[in-house]
Amino acid sequence: MLTHALLAFVAVFICFGGNYLTGQSMLERPLVVGLVTGLLMGDMRQGILMGASLEAIFLGNVNIGGVISAEPVTATVISTTFAITAGVSKGAALTLAIPIGMLAAFVVMFLKNVFFNIFAPVLDRIAAEGNERKINALQWGTWVFYYCIISAVSFIGVLAGSGPVNAFVTHIPKVVMNGLNAAGGLLPAVGFAMLMKLLWNNKLAVFYLLGFVLTAYMKLPAVAVAAIGIVICVVVAQSDMRYNKLASEGVKSNQSSNAHESKEEEEEDFFS
Site for another protein in 58-77 (CB under 8 A): 59-60, 62-66, 69-70
The span from the CA of 211 to the CA of 196, in Å, is: 13
Nearer to another protein, 6 or 111 (CB): 111
97 binds another protein (CB under 8 A): no
**Is residue 113 within the footprint of another protein (CB under 8 A)?**
yes
Q: Under the criterion CB under 8 A, does residue 249 sit at the interface with another protein? A: no
Contacts of another protein in 145-164 (CB under 8 A): 146
Residue 115 or 163: the one with the smaller Cβ distance to another protein is 115
Q: Interface with another protein by CB under 8 A: which range of 79-87, 156-164, 230-238, 253-261?
A: 230-238
CA atoms within 13 A on the CB side of 267: 6
181 within 8 A of 91, measured Cβ to Cβ: yes
- By the 8 A CB rule, do 174 and 185 touch? no
Span from 18-26, 81-89, 161-169, 253-261 in contact with another protein (CB under 8 A): 18-26
Distance, CA of 182 to CA of 232 (rounded, Å)? 35
Of 50, 36, 29, 13, the residue nearest 155 (C-alpha): 13
Give the C-alpha distances (Å, rounded to integers) separating 116 from 74, 92, 211: 20, 35, 44
* Least Å from the CB of residue 205 to another protein: 7
Stretch that binds another protein, among 2-10, 77-85, 156-164, 176-184 (CB under 8 A): 176-184
Q: Does 172 bind another protein (CB under 8 A)?
A: no
Is the CB of 1 or the CB of 111 nearer to another protein?
Answer: 111
The answer to the question of residue 211 lying near another protein (CB under 8 A) is yes
Sign of the alpha-carbon dihedral angle for 67, 72, 75, 78: negative
**By the rule CB under 8 A, 40 interacts with another protein:** no
CA distance 203 to 31: 32
* Closest separation in Å from C-beta 156 to another protein: 21
Considering only 1, 6, 107, 123, the residue that binds another protein (CB under 8 A) is: 123
∠ CA 102-106-110, nearest 5°, is 170
